[in-house]
Structure 1
Amino acid sequence: MEKLYSKDEIIAKSREIAHMIANTEQVEFYKRAEAQINENQKVRENIASLKSLQKQAVNFQQYGKERALEIIEGKIDKIQGEIDEVPIVQEFKQSQIEVNDLLQLVSNTIANSVTDEIMVATGGDVRKGETGSYIKNTTYNKL
């Protein structure tokens, strides 16, 4: 019989995987890019302005100030564009995508592997996506 794992053992292994992910090239690049962004005075100033404008936009939206909201949104778009033009910001955003893709890949791999393990353990057919109990209990097998 296969060993049964406890929730605590699985959480411990999850933490080990998280540690591995946190120490990949993608995450290291992400951290370096973030540090460079934080060291960039112009980007920091633009981000501060952006946050202030976003707060104003929320207030204008709550009070139904449509024209003022349009003006603020235009300013937000302009500043966001300036921030996005900075090469390190572009690289930072790309690294975010890569880290998220890696997390999604790990998540999907775990989910698919669990499903496959269940199918195999129940005598099912992984290629058809059927568990053994499904195969045994469907009418086409009883004919």
Structure 2
Amino acid sequence: MATKLYTRDEIVEKAKEIAHMIAQTEEVEFFKKAEAQINENQFVREKIASLRSLQKQAVNFQHLGKEKALKLVEKKIEEIEKEIDEIPVVQQFKQSQLEVNELLQLVSNAIATTVTNDIIESTGGNLLTGETGSKVKNSSPGSCS
């Protein structure tokens, strides 16, 4: 029985199905809620606006070579970033980002591992050594090279 060969389009279609599944997870739902809470939080919005303004100033000072002013602005940026990071809703948002990224990494690793193992197995290779069948056959003692 011949193995079915898939087209790129079929694989992309399956990837989109997986993406839709990921978008329907608890991790993504929590991420969306945390992001909405941040966007609704006036204090956070004001801090972020201040941060962006200071970042623009820092770029200008750097461009103009104003080292003292740049250091002062960078210190203010650091202080505001610390304030923002201490806000519980921001901590929840960052945690949710980590969890979504972990899920994406898990899926990526599962795909890579499965593809590698399928190649090794389908060529009669050795999963323990990670060698494909052609490598195993060509590295056996007494094989003709």
Q: Deviations over 1:37-75 (max 9, x none)?
A: 000000000001101111111111122211111100111
Q: Does 1:120 align with 2:121?
A: yes
Tell me the distance in 1 between the aligned counterparts of 2:142 and 2:37: 63
1:27 aligns with 2:28: yes
Q: 1:37 to 1:141 in 2, by over 3 A?
A: farther
CA distance in 2, matches of 1:61, 1:105: 40
Structure 2 unaligned runs (5+)? none
TM-score, reference length from structure 2? 0.95
The DSSP-based 3-state class of the residue aligned with 2:127 is: coil
Identity %: 64
Query: Aligned residue for 1:71?
Result: 72
Paired letter, 2:75:
G
Q: Determine the structure 1 residue equivalent to 2:46.
A: 45
1:50–1:80: 8 Å Cα contact kept in structure 2? yes
Give the equivalent residue in structure 2 for 1:138.
Answer: 139
| Separation of aligned partners in 2, 1:101 and 1:43 | 26
Determine whether 1:96 maps to 2:116: no
Pair 141,74 (structure 1): closer, same or farther in 2 beyond 3 Å: farther
Residue identity in the other structure for 1:63: L
Greater shift, 89-98 or 60-69, is seen at 60-69
- Letter of the 1:114 partner, please give it: V
Cα deviation for residue 14 of structure 1 reads 0.2
- 1: distance between equivalents of 2:64 and 2:113? 48
How far apart are the structure 2 equivalents of 1:140 and 1:97? 48
CA distance, structure 2, for counterparts of residue 124 and residue 35 of structure 1:
50
Q: TM-score under structure 1 normalisation?
A: 0.96
Query: 1:88: how far off?
Result: 0.7
1:125/1:41 CA distance change after superposition, 3 Å: same
Aligned partners of 1:62 and 1:112: how far apart in 2? 47
Separation in structure 1 between the aligned mates of residue 141 and residue 88 of structure 2, nearest angstrom: 60
Unaligned 5+ segments in structure 1 are none
Cα distance, 1:141 vs structure 2: 5.3
User: Moved runs in structure 1, 4+ residues, more than 2 A?
Assistant: 139-143
